[in-house]
Amino acid sequence: MQLLYTLLACSFLAPSHGAPDFGPLLPSPPPFTLPPVTQLSIFNKVIAPDGFARSATLAGGIFPGPLIKAQKGDLFSISVLNQLQDENMPLLTSIHWHGIRQLKTNWADGVAFITQCPIPQYGSFLHQFSAPGQTGTYWYHSHFSTQYCDGLRGPLVIYDPEDPHRGLYDVDDETTIITLSDWYHDPSTQLNKITGRGVTYNSTLINGLGRYPGGPKSPLAVINVKQGLRYRFRVIGLSCDPSYNFTIDGHNMTIIEADGVETVPVTVDSLPVLPGQRYSVVVHADKPVANYWVRALSPFPNQTFAGGLNQAILRYNSAPDEDPTSSSGPFVLPFDEAMLASFGSIPAPGFPQIGFADVNLNLVAGNVKGRFTLNDVSFQNPPISVLLQMLSGARHPSELLPKGSVYELPPNKVVEITLPNTGAAPGGPHPIHLHGHNFAVVRVAGNSTPNFVNPIWRDTVSMGAVGDNVAIRFVTDNPGPWFLHCHIDFHLNKGFAAVMAETRDEIPDIYANIPAAWYDLCSTSD
């Protein structure tokens, strides 16, 4: 990340089309890692990760935001401080801890209009939660409008001192985190006005650095390795829109984790990473000392690697400080999600046949006049958060807003959700994320045969291509309203979402632990 500060200080930055001045470009460097008990300040700052200067919305003043680094069993106490000032972007905010189940702490999930009111300008909110039994790779991001597209996103890792895969790698620290993100030169408030598939990102950033077509030869991220060592790279999809095919020239990758769940090791030479998804892969630095391209290519049209676009550098110790000359491919070990299985051999809950869970929901995505729908209903933010509605005495799903988007789920039941891709929702592949749970993917994209014996468990899954019918299962053991949505943020903003209102009878368990400051947010937010 030091390259980012170097870049910010450079005088050759491209013009920002009137980006407002929020002080010097290079304040004292903030910490790159934070403990689980910390303050996370959110403020605007002009940065130029691809050589184009723009005002951004940042956690801790850097992009990506600081790594929040925890150990298994740690308690989290994170005070989010809203210091936003740029009126060209949202001044309210909320922070979601993506992949953390929030068991019995639904109020701390950080989703504006679902589990809380947004944090007002100059306000703060203390998120206190634990992550019992959870380890692995996660991230945090704004969950207010499309604000995370303006830069509010960063990694969160829970390290496991008893990791069952510990014998497979030698290095796993801050230097082995690899973030993949899109970057936009215009603020999200302008992008939200674009209809159809008109939103196109300007550059791909790997670990916060990249280049855009026609732009300067900005520094690229360098991932340093020592020949002979094995590295656990934690690859995080921070993207707002595009998915990426991730490869490292000349090197295979062994998958050992997906979305915080240890997997049976599977070796691939390419890895599709959708927005919200995370993988840990072991890469053996066993090639000749040299520089190798790290590539992240989206399925968007006219994508290229020319001039260092969509790339970073894997640099062996003693290799010269220069761009690689390596070539990609040939690819002979393709990724197949059906090959993934949990390391703990966790079977899917319920009767092993599609359609025979306790509760069966078929959610069909569509699009009407530019707005996405689920079962013909486009999600709209309610005037009051869904959790507050449930705490205030709404007794029936029909009483909960937004009308038609809230599905009530009874306690301790197996729920199956099928997600047929009929082709009616453009802009895929759509990554579907469920808050509050890991789920068993009993039928993956690209495979019609269900797997109830040892499926992969995760929290963000691809809907796949037209004709696929992905199916997931989970047990309703976590009370509260949980958001289910497409993690392409522009699709969510246009209605691609629903709420699973779970285990209403246990809502008093949540109520007893909600701090007074949570209610105060609703009296101070706009």
Active site residues: 96, 98, 141, 143, 430, 433, 435, 485-488, 491, 496
Residue 381 burial (CB < 10 Å; 0-12/13-18/19+)? middle
What one-letter code names the amino acid at 24? P
Contact present, 171 and 231 (Cβ < 8 Å): yes
Instruction: Specify the pairing of strand 230-237 against strand 278-284.
Output: antiparallel
- Joined tokens for residue 173: 């620290």
Contact present, 364 and 469 (Cβ < 8 Å): no
**Rounded distance, CA 263 to CA 231, Å?**
17
Place of tokens 């706009």: 526
Residue 109 burial (CB < 10 Å; 0-12/13-18/19+)? buried
For 2, phi and psi rounded to 5 degrees? -60, -30
- Joined tokens for residue 389: 């509605």
Contact present, 352 and 465 (Cβ < 8 Å): no
Q: Identify any residues that bridge with 93 across adjacent strands, giving them in sequence order.
A: 119
**Rounded distance, CA 95 to CA 40, Å?**
10
- Joined tokens for residue 417: 């959700």
Helix (H, G, I), strand (E, B) or coil at 458: strand
What one-letter code names the amino acid at 366? G
